[in-house]
Amino acid sequence: MDNEKEKIIQTYRNYVQAFQSLNPKAILPFYHAPFMSISSREVWVLGTPAEIEDSFARNMDILRENKYARTDIIDLYARQMNKGLALVSVILERYSSEGEQLGGAGKTYTYTYTLRKTDNNWKIVSAMAHDAATLLRIN
C-alpha cells in the first residue's frame, strides 16, 4: 500500500496545484460526482460535474476578488483504508498576490477528504471542514 499511499498524496498535491489556477475546469478531474461538502454550518451535495464546476467557480471568484495567489500545505496525512478508499487530512494556508495570508495572520483551513479510486485514479468524494486541533494524524 505504500506505493498507493504515495499516489494518494501526489493526487492531493496535484489537486492543490490545479486549484491555484482558479479555473474550475482544472479541478474537475479530481472530483467524484456526486461530491459532498460538510461543515458545522451546512452540508451540500453536488450531484453532477456541472454542479461541482458551478460551485467552485463561485468560490474561486471570491478568492480572485481577494487577490488569491497560492495555497501552502502545512500538514498532510493520508491513509489508504482499503483498495478503493482513502482519507486525506490537511492544514492549508492561503496567500494573496501581495504575500499576505488570506483571512489574517494565523488563519488556516483544515479539511479531511474521503477519496475513492475509480478507473485507476483517486477522486475526492467528500470534504469536511473542521478545526485544526482535530486534524487526523493518520499514517
What's the mean per-residue pLDDT of the chain? 95
State residue 2's pLDDT score.
78
Mean pLDDT value across residues 42-53: 97
Q: What is the pLDDT of residues 12-25, one digit of tens each?
A: 999 999 999 999 99
pLDDT band at 96 (very low <50, low <70, confident <90, very high): very high
State residue 1's pLDDT score.
52
* Cα→Cα distances 57→3, 34, 83, 88, 138, Å: 33, 17, 32, 23, 31
Supply 113's cell numbers: 477528504
Fold observed for domain 2-134: Nuclear Transport Factor 2; Chain: A, (3.10.450)
pTM (two decimals): 0.93
State residue 104's pLDDT score.
76
In this model, does residue 61 exceed pLDDT 90? yes
| Phi-psi region at 99: left, alpha or beta (left = phi > 0; alpha = psi -120 to 50) | left
